[in-house]
Every structure is written in structure tokens, then in C-alpha cells.
Amino acid sequence: MFMNKICIGDHYQIQCYKHNGKIHRSWSEAVVLDVKKDYIVFGNNKALVIESDGRTRRTGEPAVMYFFKNKWFNIIAQLKKDGISYYCNIATPFIIEEGTVKYIDYDLDLRIYNTGEYKILDKMEYKYHKKLMGYSDDLDKAIKNGLAELIELYENGSSLFATEPNLKYYEEYLKVKKDSNK
């Protein structure tokens, strides 16, 4: 990984794949807001999303996204009018190729509501794809461990799920966007 070559303000796209190698979804914008030893923080707002079937839409709110070098999940803080909620994908650690952040999505998601409650989503989709695409026992274990680690981070009050740092990252995003428009 070439984390030392990534700079705050750099622009990337995001591509999400499924286990069979097919692209599932892509986002037009991911602006680097911070580079840590184990993860990169990106931001976007009203990014263009292209689905695998060609449908397009824009995200509804600003987002701060955490992509991890060695963790089996990524975290998206969604800055909504009524507070921050989180959408967490159980997925491979990211790679960056040709200006694009890439990862494989493994269906299971953790949705954390602004009330503090959370819910595991897409269990049936995971079960279906596990059988259809032949996920190995080792892969199944990595996926389940990623979900357990993510829940533990949330329940233990990780700063990744704290309001103030995510709002500061969004302020950084606005500053970077303003500076890039000069």
C-alpha cells in the first residue's frame, strides 16, 4: 500500500465489487480528508452513484467515509439534518488502483441510527450469496469476525462513531472543496 503517497485533498472514485468480481456500485467522489496509519478518511456530498444495472442517483447528504487497510469493514457517517447515522459495510480491506478506491462488499451491513440503536441488515442476501458464490469457511469467518469487531467498536464508544470528529472532517471537506475551486 502506498499510503504515504496519498495527500489530503486528493480526489478518488469508489468502486464496490461483489465476490464474483462484478462491479456492484460506484461513487463519483471521495476526497481525502485524513491519512492515518491504518485507514484513510474520505468525504463527499451529493456524489453521483452508479448502480450495476446503470441506474444513477445522487447521495442525499454529506458523508465522511472510513476505509481500513486491514479491517473487514468500512464506515460511512451520514450527516443528516436530524443527526449523524452510520452505514457500515462488511467488506474486504480497500485497495487503490488508478485513482479508485476498491473493495469487495459481502452483503452484511450494520446500520446505526442517530438514536443510538443499530441493526444488522441483509442477512438473507448474505446467506444467498454465500451459497451462490461459494464463500469458503475462512472467508465466512473473516466476514463474521469483521461484523463482530465493528459492533464491538461501536458499543465501546470508538471515536469513529463520535459526532464531533465527523463534523470536523466535514468542515475539512468543505475547506478542501473551496480551496480546489480557487
Alpha-carbon distance 40 to 68, whole Å? 7
Residue pair 65/74 in contact by the 8 Å Cβ criterion = yes
The question of whether 25 is a catalytic residue gets the answer yes
| C-alpha cell read off for 34 | 485524513
Q: Which of 25, 57, 58, 111 is catalytic?
A: 25
SS (H, E, C) the chain: CCHHHCCCCCEEEEEEECCCCCEEEEEEEEEEEEECCCEEEEEEECCEEEECCCCEEECCCEEEEEEECCCCEEEEEEEECCEEEEEEEEECCCEEECCEEEEEEEEEEEEECCCCCEEEECHHHHHHHHHHHCCCHHHHHHHHHHHHHHHHHHHCCCHHHCHHHHHHHHHHHHHHHHHHCC
Alpha-carbon distance 98 to 21, whole Å? 17
Active site residues: 25
